[in-house]
C-alpha cells in the first residue's frame, strides 16, 4: 500500500506561519558570529507546550557566555524508545542572498531563508509529528523521545554531547536524525568516516630574504613536507570501501596561517592544517603516527585539532530495517544504504551505543546563499518517521 501525500491549505498555512517565526529568530552558532539558540528555543518550547506536551529544558552557557538551549519531549508508547533529533542552530548567512536570509520568503511551493533546509527539515517534520499526536491523529507504538538541540554546526559540545553527559540516552534506544538526505528520500546514512583535523607546525630559522644561506626557510620545508605527505598518505592508506563516496580515505591540506609580515623575511615557522576523512578500515592513531614519522625528518610537529573515530550502525539493525520499510511504503522508492565523509549527530550517538540513522527528504541547499526547501518535503519526512514510530 502506497500512502499519497496531500498538503492541505490549512497545513500549508500553519507550516509557513510557524517556519516564518522560527527563521526570524536567528540561531546562528556563536562559532560563526551568532548568539546561539535561546530565542528560537523559547518560541518552539511555547509552541509545543500549547500542544499539551511537557518540555524538559537543558540550557548551558558556552565559553562566550551565550545560552545554548536544548529541548526534550517524551511521548509514551508501548515499545522501546526511538529518538528523533533536530538541531536548532544554523551557520551564518554569508553573502549572495537575493532576499533577507532571516525573513521567510514564499515562492510557489518553495520557502527561502537561512535554515529552511538545514535543519528546517528536522525541526518542521518533528513539530508536525508532535502536532498530529496532540490532535489524536497518531497512535504511537514506540515511545517518542524528541529533541531540539544546540551546537550541531560546531561539534555538538553544547547539544547532544551535553545531553549524553546528563545521562539522557539509555541502552536499548535507537535514533533517527532528519539532518541528511536526498531529493527522493532514497538514501539512508548508516556510517561516517573518521574525521581528523591536524595542525602541522614546521620549524626553521628566520632570516633576510637576500641571505637565504644564513636562514632555514620553514615555508619551503613545509611545502616539501606537504607534497611528500600528500603522495605518501595515499600509498599507505590505500584500501577501498565501496560503501562510501569517495570510497577511500582523503587527506587534504587546507588552511594556512600567516607566517611573516614582510616579503623580504624568510619565515622561521610555517603552519598548515590538514583535513583527513578516514574509512573505518583504519584507526586515526595509525594516521597520526604516519604523519609524525614523516614530519620528524622536516622538524615538523602535529597537534590534533579534532579527532572523531569512524562510526557505523549495522545494516541489519532493526532501526535500519524499519526505516527502509517505511520509505518503501510512504514514498514508493527503494532506499539504499551509504556512508559519508561528514559528521552528524548520528555519529556521536553511535559511539555511546545508540544505533542511529540519518535520513530525510531535502533540496540539498544547506549552507548555500538563497537556501530553499519544498514545503511538501516537511510533510513527506514527517510521514515516513511517523510510520516508523507506529509500526
Predicted pLDDT of residue 3: 46
Whether 329 and 203 share a structural domain: no
Residue 375 in any domain: the answer is yes
**Three cell numbers, residue 278:** 578516514
Whether 180 and 117 share a structural domain: yes
Task: Tell whether the model's pLDDT for residue 1 goes beyond 60.
Answer: no
Give the chain's mean pLDDT: 96
- Position 6 confidence tier, pLDDT thresholds 50, 70, 90: low
pLDDT tens, residue by residue, 257-279 = 999 999 999 999 999 999 999 99
Residue 288 in any domain: the answer is yes
Residue 2 in any domain: the answer is no
Whether 160 and 263 share a structural domain: no
Only one residue has cell 545554548, namely: 68
- The full DSSP string for 22-52 is HHHS--B-GGGT---SHHHHHHHHHHHHHTT
Whether 162 and 28 share a structural domain: yes
pLDDT tens, residue by residue, 303-346 = 999 998 999 999 999 999 999 999 999 999 999 999 999 889 99
pLDDT tens, residue by residue, 239-248 = 999 999 899 9
- Position 5 confidence tier, pLDDT thresholds 50, 70, 90: low
Predicted pLDDT of residue 7: 58
Domain CATH number, residue 166? 3.40.630.10
Residue 3 in any domain: the answer is no
Residue 365 in any domain: the answer is yes
Query: How far is residue 379's CA from residue 373's CA, in Å, rounded to a whole number?
Result: 12
pLDDT tens, residue by residue, 32-61 = 999 999 999 999 999 999 999 999 999 999
Whether 338 and 280 share a structural domain: no
Whether 217 and 342 share a structural domain: no
Residue 4 in any domain: the answer is no
The residue from 308, 331, 350 where one domain ends is: 308
Predicted pLDDT of residue 335: 96
Residue 2 per-residue DSSP state: P
Residues 6+ apart with CB under 8 A from 225: 200, 202, 294, 295, 298, 300
Residue 343 in any domain: the answer is yes
**Three cell numbers, residue 157:** 559540545
- Position 10 confidence tier, pLDDT thresholds 50, 70, 90: confident
Whether 302 and 337 share a structural domain: no
**Are residues 334 and 185 in contact, defined by beta-carbon separation less than 8 angstroms?**
no
Percent above pLDDT 90 for the chain: 95
Residue 124: name the closest of 7, 263, 284 by CA: 7
What average pLDDT does range 116-138 have in this prediction?
A: 97
Q: How many CA atoms lie within 13 A of 315 on its CB side?
A: 6
What average pLDDT does range 123-147 have in this prediction?
A: 97
Predicted pLDDT of residue 342: 86
Residue 344 in any domain: the answer is yes
The residue from 308, 343, 373 where one domain ends is: 308
Residues 6+ apart with CB under 8 A from 49: 55
Whether 234 and 335 share a structural domain: no
Domain CATH number, residue 198? 3.30.70.360
Catalytic positions: 89, 152
Domain count, the chain: 2
Whether 161 and 33 share a structural domain: yes
The residue from 280, 308, 336 where one domain ends is: 308
The more confidently predicted of residues 190 and 9 is: 190
Whether 132 and 48 share a structural domain: yes
Whether 188 and 198 share a structural domain: no
Tell me the residue range of the domain where 291 lies.
194-308
pTM of this prediction? 0.87
Whether 263 and 117 share a structural domain: no
Query: How far is residue 88's CA from residue 119's CA, in Å, rounded to a whole number?
Result: 7
Predicted pLDDT of residue 2: 44
The percent of the chain in helix, strand and coil, each rounded to the nearest 5, is 35, 25, 40
Amino acid at each position: 500500500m502506497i500512502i499519497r501525500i496531500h498538503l492541505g491549505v490549512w497545513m500549508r498555512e500553519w507550516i509557513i506561519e510557524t517556519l516564518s517565526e522560527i527563521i526570524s529568530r536567528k540561531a546562528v552558532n556563536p562559532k560563526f558570529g551568532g548568539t546561539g539558540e535561546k530565542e528560537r528555543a523559547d518560541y518552539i518550547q511555547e509552541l509545543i507546550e500549547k500542544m499539551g506536551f511537557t518540555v524538559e529544558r537543558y540550557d548551558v552557557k558556552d565559553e562566550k557566555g551565550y545560552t545554548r538551549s536544548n529541548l526534550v519531549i517524551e511521548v509514551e508508547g508501548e515499545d522501546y524508545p526511538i529518538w528523533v533529533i533536530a538541531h536548532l542552530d544554523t551557520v551564518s548567512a554569508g553573502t549572495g542572498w537575493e532576499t533577507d536570509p532571516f525573513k521567510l520568503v514564499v515562492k510557489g511551493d518553495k520557502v527561502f531563508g537561512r535554515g529552511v533546509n538545514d535543519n528546517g527539515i528536522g525541526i518542521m517534520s518533528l513539530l508536525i509529528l508532535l502536532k498530529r499526536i496532540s490532535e489524536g491523529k497518531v497512535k504511537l507504538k514506540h515511545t517518542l523521545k524528541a529533541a531540539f538541540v544546540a551546537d550541531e554546526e560546531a561539534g555538538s559540545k553544547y547539544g547532544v554531547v551535553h545531553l549524553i553527559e546528563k545521562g539522557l540516552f539509555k541502552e536499548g534506544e535507537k535514533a533517527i536524525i532528519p539532518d541528511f538526505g536526498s531529493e527522493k528520500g532514497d538514501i539512508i546514512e548508516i556510517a561516517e568516516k573518521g574525521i581528523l583535523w591536524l595542525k602541522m607546525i614546521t620549524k626553521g630559522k628566520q632570516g633576510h630574504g637576500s641571505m637565504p644561506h644564513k636562514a632555514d626557510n620553514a615555508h619551503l620545508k613545509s611545502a616539501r613536507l606537504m607534497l611528500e605527505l600528500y603522495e605518501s598518505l595515499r600509498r599507505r592508506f590505500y584500501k577501498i570501501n565501496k560503501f562510501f563516496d569517495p570510497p577511500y580515505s582523503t587527506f587534504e591540506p587546507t588552511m594556512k596561517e600567516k607566517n611573516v609580515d614582510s616579503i623580504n623575511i624568510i619565515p622561521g615557522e610555517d603552519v598548515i592544517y590538514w583535513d583527513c576523512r578516514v574509512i573505518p578500515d583504519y584507526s586515526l592513531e595509525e594516521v597520526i603516527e604516519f604523519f609524525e614519522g614523516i614530519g620528524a625528518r622536516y622538524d615538523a610537529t602535529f597537534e590534533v585539532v579534532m579527532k572523531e573515530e569512524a562510526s557505523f550502525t549495522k545494516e541489519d539493525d532493526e532501526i535500519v530495517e524499519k526505516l527502509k520499510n517505511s520509505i518503501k511504503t510512504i514514498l514508493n522508492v527503494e532506499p539504499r544504504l551509504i556512508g559519508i565523509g561528514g559528521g552528524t549527530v548520528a555519529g556521536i550517538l553511535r559511539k555511546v551505543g545508540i544505533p542511529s540513522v540519518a535520513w530525510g527528504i531535502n533540496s540539498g541547499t544547506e549552507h548555500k546563499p538563497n537556501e530553499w526547501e519544498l514545503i511538501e518535503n516537511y510533510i513527506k519526512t514527517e510521514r515516513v518517521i511517523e510510520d516508523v514510530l507506529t509500526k
